[in-house]
Amino acid sequence: MSYDAKPEHKFTFGLWTVGNTGRDPFGSPTRETLTPVQLVRMLAEQGVYGVNFHDNDLVPIDASPAERDRIVTDFRQALNDTGLVVPMATTNLFSDPVFKDGAFTANDPKVRAYALQKTIRAIELGVELGATVYVFWGGREGTETDSSKNPLDSAKRFRDALNFLCAYVKAQGYDLRFALEPKPNEPRSDIYLPTVGSMLGFITTLDHPEMVGLNPEVAHEHMAGLNFMHAVAQAWDAGKLFHIDLNDQLFGRYDQDFRFGSVMPKQAFYLVRFLESVGYSGSRHFDAHAYRTADYDDVKEFVRGCTRTYLILKEKAERFNQDSEIQSLLSEIQADQGDYAYLSSGYSPEAVNRLNAEAFDRAAMNRRRLPYERLDQLTIELMLGAR
Ligand code: GCO
Ligand code: MN
Ligand code: MN
């Protein structure tokens, strides 16, 4: 079995992920800066399907219109040469000092207006290059002190901005959906709408909720100590899994952005098993970066590592589904004689009468076996290659 990435696997990386130069809050870059064209070529060599970007990953914030055109022409040429596509684009609303108090939720109305203008221009750039998903990660949309902003004002400002942008996209007739990416903290002390669940609730308050879904990220739910696969399942159940950011992260640490599956492989296994079993067909986007110690050969290992681990876990999920001992345990655990099928069609006076007439023997019910220790050990042995 080959674990080499192919375009049909829909693996994507951001320019900012493989282009990360190793700078962190304590130290300077450890790798030279590569151009977007060099990064596209590197990704194509590794069998990757697509490349995503923030407006300023591609076009520097102070570029003149002529520079913008030249950069876009070169980038488009690299895409044509390699066959890579751009499935997703986004706006950098966090690096420039102007966004120190947020973008759409900043207290200064001028900053909010600039954020809207910058996003419209970035949407134009994304659409020009073929993006059909547009991500909103509100890294600076939060507070250090709650004296500074009222969370209700912030929710209204964020909602107004998204409503404005949804209406803009509709008016232009673009084939573009929005994917909101929650994160609990970093760079702000507290970021608004910190989890998948909060975002799902917020989307229902928008003017065009059908246009807006989620871009959940492994690291972000892990930072909050949550079960990422459960969050993804909730987004899927709501029809809102528009995109996904894959990486890895230990609970309770700084924002690590590790190679997919590298520190919590069991969680990664359940996630891949879920995505493959429901037939998720969107990008498998790796929003991670190589260790600060890596040179660009090692960055290529990082790219291969993300995609290989995904494909290995996909194969393990298939083995899990074919493993006769695991499957017979699951049949035993999930056995259903259909005695209570009358409850699954919902409430009716007859159903209640029938339910009231049932005699439940709790002691007998407790004797039904749930050999989850055995099941989990089999899962671990399968993952570790012992079966
Ligand atoms: C982070 C986020 C970002 C976003 C990116 C695209 O923790 O910094 O995950 O990498 O995903 O800005 O919107
Ligand atoms: Mn992140
Ligand atoms: Mn992300």
Q: Is the CB of 135 under 6 A from ligand 1?
A: yes
d(CA 215, CA 178) in angstroms, rounded, equals 9
- Give how far Cα 299 sits from Cα of 180, 202, 249, 331, 364, Å: 28, 37, 18, 44, 57
- CA–centroid distance, 288 to ligand 2, in Å, is 8
- Cβ atoms of 203 and 240 within 8 Å: the answer is yes
By alpha-carbon position, which residue is closest to atom 2 of ligand 1? 137
- Cβ atoms of 212 and 180 within 8 Å: the answer is yes
pLDDT in tens for each of the 387 residues of the chain? 799 999 999 999 999 999 999 999 999 999 999 999 999 999 999 999 999 999 999 999 999 999 999 999 999 999 999 999 999 999 999 999 999 999 999 999 999 999 999 999 999 999 999 999 999 999 999 999 999 999 999 999 999 999 999 999 999 999 999 999 999 999 999 999 999 999 999 999 999 999 999 999 999 999 999 999 999 999 999 999 999 999 999 999 999 999 999 999 999 999 999 999 999 999 999 999 999 999 999 999 999 999 999 999 999 999 999 999 999 999 999 999 999 999 999 999 999 999 999 999 999 999 999 999 999 999 999 999 999
Task: Tell me the DSSP string of 181-233.
Answer: E--SSSSSSEESS-SHHHHHHHHTTSS-GGGEEE--BHHHHHHTT--HHHHHH
Burial of 68 (0-12, 13-18, 19+ CB in 10 A): middle
- CA–centroid distance, 217 to ligand 2, in Å, is 7
Residue 53 bridge partners (DSSP): 89
- CA–centroid distance, 57 to ligand 3, in Å, is 14
Ligand 1 atom with minimal separation from the 17 CA: 10
- Catalytic annotation, residues: 54, 57
User: Cα angle at 353 between 352 and 359, to 5 degrees?
Assistant: 95
Q: Is the CB of 273 under 6 A from ligand 1?
A: no
Residue 180 bridge partners (DSSP): 136, 214
By alpha-carbon position, which residue is closest to atom 3 of ligand 1? 137
By alpha-carbon position, which residue is closest to atom 13 of ligand 1? 137
Q: Is the CB of 137 under 6 A from ligand 1?
A: yes
Q: Is the CB of 287 under 6 A from ligand 1?
A: yes
- CA–centroid distance, 375 to ligand 3, in Å, is 33
Q: Give the start-to-end residue ranges of the domains of the chain.
A: 7-318, 324-383
d(CA 326, CA 20) in angstroms, rounded, equals 42
By alpha-carbon position, which residue is closest to atom 9 of ligand 1? 287
- Cβ atoms of 190 and 143 within 8 Å: the answer is yes
- In 10 A of CB 265, how many CB atoms? 16
The CATH number of 7-318 is 3.20.20.150
State which of 54, 181, 244, 253 you would mutate to test the pocket of ligand 1, scoring each by most atoms of that ligand within 8 A of its C-beta. 181
Q: Is the CB of 93 under 6 A from ligand 1?
A: no
